[in-house]
Structure 1
Amino acid sequence: MRLILLAAALLAAVPTAAQAAKARQAAPPLRADTSTCRTGVTPAERFAVFTGSMPARRGTDRMAMRFELQIREAPDTGYRTVKAPSFGRWERSQPGRRGFIYSKRVDGLKAPATYRTVVRYRWYDDAGAVIASATRTAPQCTQPDPRPNLRLLALRATAGPAPGTTTYLLTVVNSGRGPAAAFEVAAGPDDDGAAATVTVGGMAAREARVLEVTARSCAPDGRVRIRLDVGAVIAESSETDNDVRRSCPE
């Protein structure tokens, strides 16, 4: 995972006297934010920006923040700290400022995963002693699974081209966030494993398609077995819904 530091900024000066007076009175809140959480199918599309802000306290000469990047990945239920360039070190303000704002960005985020940043704050006097400290946690940035996921939505049937055959009409959807490459689908009666296959030349994310598979007819009280991605060539976000059995359609 590639982690890149974004530029950090202090409070900017304002041009007019009225604005300058207002700025001298105002100070940023003590806060940790997830300024940006961008998701995507590829790592290059996925990044987050975390921002901390803090006001000066009475007796403050300098302020400082330290960002700690954390990740939560299944099956874990808790967060763990991620080592990243520039994270885990104290960033200091210039002396005599009314407030301090600092941002950091991380690129190439893993998915599926959830990220957050814990921001620690310190206030120093002019002798360099810590006079106060605090901690805040920014809202999480969730990166959903970018892989495709093939699912059977509906099953219908019409008479096949030869006696004893049925053309099964399968409504298949790629409910995942990424495209699926070519794969095979099989359908047929479940009683003896007889099945026929059809090749699908790939499906875009969120695409639904009706596939026709002609195989032996099932008994009226029997079941049809449908297998998506017969060769297991597609890495999916869920592999539990590829083997489906349905009542024989009328």
Structure 2
Amino acid sequence: MTRTVLLALVVVAAAAPAAGAAPVAGAAVPPGAVTERLLACHAGADSAARYLTVTASMRSLPGTARMRLRFDLYRRLPGALHSTHVAGPGLGSWNDAALGVARLRFRKTIANLPVPGIYRVVVRYAWLDATGQSIAGVRRVSLPCFQPDLRPDLRVGGLTVAPGRDPETRTYLVVVRNDGRSPAAGFEVALRLAGGSPPPATVPGLAARARREVSIAGPRCQTGEPVRVTVDPDHRVDEAVEDNNVRTFTCP
């Protein structure tokens, strides 16, 4: 099942006593006045395992009364030319240092990243004077964090109709594939026939890039009638692709 995933943010900020970005406005920002670093980029099949962590710091400039910085997240889909802005709690808002602080440091983890995507964090830095007017501003762009879709991808590979226990029954042999990049936990395989739907078969799991033949006993289908096969009908498995779980065959 494809889930709507929200961004979860964990922010740790620290301000300490005195101690290639293009200027945005105001005075020139000397080298070393700001830092930005992508510390971690972790991919996973489960949404909670997908996150990135960045750090950013800035030091006071002459005439500075207050410093502030903000984080913006951008996602580019594979094959796309442009990135799109990603909204989320704690993103796109300014984080202010206390008055008189000489250095501001932030460490931010952005988790539950939707997949697939290539993510970058834009960090914006601003220096304000005692009246709140801007003295200077710069921005830095992080290294890319690639998040591939590692979820399983179940699909129906084929159907064979074999003789059953008696002339009025048939054995339906369904080939189930997992074309995804991680194993799938337990799921069911269901049939829909004109003469009635038999109980679904249970599959305990399926490894990545693997296939399995599933046997389901049911009533005899008539030649030319549709036989509808559904993998994971109750959406137990969070998959990379959900629209390939159903396939209809013609009874031979």
**Cα contact 1:28–1:53 (8 A) shared by 2:** no
> Which residue of structure 2 lines up, in the alignment, with residue 172 of structure 1?
176
Q: Which runs of 5+ in 1 are unaligned?
A: 9-26
Residue deviations 1:144-181 (CA, integer Å, cap 9, x gap) = 66765432122234443433544332221344566544
Residue deviations 1:28-54 (CA, integer Å, cap 9, x gap) = 698866453212244653331225588
Distance 1:119 1:111 in 2: 18
Q: Secondary structure at the match of 2:9?
A: coil
Displacement of 1:82 in angstroms is 2.0
Residue deviations 1:177-218 (CA, integer Å, cap 9, x gap) = 665443332236x43444453222233455432212233443
Work out whether 1:197 is the aligned partner of 2:200.
yes
Are the structure 2 counterparts of residues 43 and 197 from structure 1 closer, same or farther at C-alpha, using a change threshold of 3 Å? closer
> Which residue of structure 2 lines up, in the alignment, with residue 112 of structure 1?
114
**Cα contact 1:112–1:144 (8 A) shared by 2:** no
Which sits farther off after the overlay, 233-242 or 220-229?
A: 233-242
Work out whether 1:3 is the aligned partner of 2:9.
yes
> Would you say how many aligned residue pairs link Structure 1 and Structure 2?
219
Partner amino acid, structure 2, of 1:83: G
Structure with higher RCO (Cα < 8 A, 6+ apart): 2
Of residues 218, 225, 230, the one that matches 2:228 is: 225
Seq. identity, %: 31
CA-based RMSD of the aligned residues comes to 4.8
Alignment TM-score, normalising by the size of structure 2? 0.58
Partner amino acid, structure 1, of 2:189: V
Displacement of 1:139 in angstroms is 5.8
Distance 1:81 1:186 in 2: 39
**Cα contact 1:67–1:117 (8 A) shared by 2:** no
Q: Which runs of 5+ in 2 are unaligned?
A: 1-6, 15-30, 76-83
Are the structure 2 counterparts of residues 183 and 141 from structure 1 closer, same or farther at C-alpha, using a change threshold of 3 Å? same
Name the one with the larger strand percent: 2
> Which residue of structure 1 lines up, in the alignment, with residue 158 of structure 2?
154
Displacement of 1:55 in angstroms is 11
Residue deviations 1:67-117 (CA, integer Å, cap 9, x gap) = 324487xxxx75224227xx832579x97xxxx99662416x124366653
Partner amino acid, structure 1, of 2:194: D
Of residues 183, 192, 199, the one that matches 2:187 is: 183
Work out whether 1:88 is the aligned partner of 2:91.
no
**Cα contact 1:32–1:136 (8 A) shared by 2:** yes
**Cα contact 1:36–1:50 (8 A) shared by 2:** yes
Q: Secondary structure at the match of 1:133?
A: strand
**Cα contact 2:181–2:209 (8 A) shared by 1:** yes
Distance 2:195 2:143 in 1: 54
Are the structure 2 counterparts of residues 7 and 209 from structure 1 closer, same or farther at C-alpha, using a change threshold of 3 Å? farther
Distance 2:105 2:157 in 1: 48
Partner amino acid, structure 2, of 1:112: P
